[in-house]
Amino acid sequence: MVNELYHKLKSFFLKSKMEAKIDGDFNSAEEIHLSSTDFYEENDLVYFKNLNAYGAFKYPIVKQLFNSENESIGVSNVALEINDIYFSKNEDIHKMNKKAAILHLTFLSSKLHYLNNDYTHFLFNKFLTNLPTKKEINLVDFLVNPLVLINILKEYDLLDTIFQDLNPENDSFSFDYAINKIKEYFEDTSKLESVIKKFLEQGGIIPAKMIDFLNDLETENPIEIAQLPNFFKSIIFVAVETTSSFLSNFIFTIFQKYPEFLLNKDVEKLHQLSNELLRINPPVPFIFRTVWEDTVFNDVHLKKGDQLILFVGSANMDPNYFDEPDLIKFNRNNKHLSFGGGAYTCIGRFASFRMALNIFDYLAPLSNNFSFLEKKPRFYFQNAILKIPLNIKYYDSFEGN
């Protein structure tokens, strides 16, 4: 099953086929994203009349929309529908919420460091020692996703209350069960939401750290208990899904293309590489904005309710701003737009590279224990996020390599 978020996006795009100013019809945002170069010679905003939606593909126009001070264009109604506790149409309120989220999520870039954190060290080795050996497995499913998700659940005391079956410190912990359950949550995060909802309906107490998080958020209306399961789910979903996508790409590229970094950890080069990977394969290839009041933007008359689809993946590959955009190049001048911009900039930009270094520290010493089964990265869309599976064989010794 696909995620509830994907259903919402799918229903938005599939009301009818898009009709662009160029020849060809498109059934989804994914198809447009993959055909984005077709739009570079079109207007700054390409209109898809059947959806009453505009697409922005070029680097300068996407950057301008991200940083626009036009208050008539703001956070999308898609984002508000997914999580109206965190997102707000009022940019000042949202900036407060972003500060709160950064404060509460900094552990992702610090406590996940396995060399400096006893719990993460324990968790990593728990899963590593249970990895099936000499069999084809997906490293994302068996190590990357569990490592990040369980750390988040642990940090917010959700592991000791709502998700006790995923607690590796419990005597009843089952590795196979945990792997399958975590895969289910990633394939359909509404299942994760339903677990939290059932817990609250049965009189479960909201963990204190989550209450602290909620108390630091600014909302235009009082937060109702019924909203909390969706809030918890969406926070976990956003943090884990996008992180998993980026880390998977990072791991694959280093092991397959830059093995010299495994022997010589050049932090500056690794930082430049991570930015290039985020540019070429952004975890979220398209981001929405909604027109809240009639306005004029770049000589285009926009009406209240119009949707703007900012194709980040396209803007990051704009040949007018990135020479040979398909290639990884160090020391590029223009910055990628994968974290968005303005009031709604992704808070992950503060933690992404730190987390990449963390996962590097985990796996670099084990470079001879992994055998990747694919020589080129294979991407696919799931839950509206670009993903890469890491299909490997793992050896608990150097044999077979």
Determine, yes or no, domain membership for 60: yes
Q: Quick one: which of 182, 148, 183 has its CA closest to 358?
A: 148
Q: What is the pLDDT of residue 271?
A: 94
Q: What is the pLDDT of residue 17?
A: 32
Phi then psi for residue 106, to 5 deg, are -60, -20
Q: What is the pLDDT of residue 24?
A: 38
Burial class (CB in 10 A: 0-12, 13-18, 19+), 230: buried
C-beta pairs of 191-200 under 8 Å, 24+ apart in sequence: 192/233, 192/236, 192/237, 193/4, 193/229, 193/230, 193/232, 193/233, 194/229, 195/162, 195/163, 196/162, 196/228, 196/229, 196/232, 196/233, 197/229, 199/161, 199/162, 200/225, 200/228, 200/229
3-class DSSP state for residue 46?
Answer: strand
Phi then psi for residue 297, to 5 deg, are -130, 120
Tell me the sheet residues that pair with 56.
45, 310
d(CA 383, CA 187): 8
H-run or E-run covering 180: helix 175-187
Determine, yes or no, domain membership for 171: yes
Provide the 8-state DSSP code for 188. Answer: -
d(CA 120, CA 123): 5
Scan for tokens 């694959």, then name that residue: 252
Determine, yes or no, domain membership for 285: yes
Orientation of helix 228-257 relative to helix 175-187, angle to 10°? 110
Question: What's 171's domain CATH number?
Answer: 1.10.630.10
Determine, yes or no, domain membership for 257: yes
Domain that holds residue 322: 4-394
Contact partners, residue 139, CB within 8 Å, separation at least 6: 248, 251, 370, 390, 391, 392, 394
3-class DSSP state for residue 380?
Answer: strand
pLDDT along the chain (401 residues), means of 10: 42 36 50 76 78 84 90 89 88 91 78 72 90 92 89 88 94 95 88 92 89 89 87 79 88 93 92 95 90 93 91 92 93 92 85 85 89 86 81 78 45
Determine, yes or no, domain membership for 401: no
Count of the separate structural domains present in the chain: 1
Determine, yes or no, domain membership for 399: no
Q: What is the pLDDT of residue 399?
A: 55
Q: Quick check: pTM over 0.85?
A: yes
Q: What is the pLDDT of residue 96?
A: 92
Q: What is the pLDDT of residue 68?
A: 84
H-run or E-run covering 75: strand 73-75
CA-atom Rg of the chain in angstroms: 21
- Distance, C-alpha 55 to centroid of its chain: 21
d(CA 73, CA 161): 41
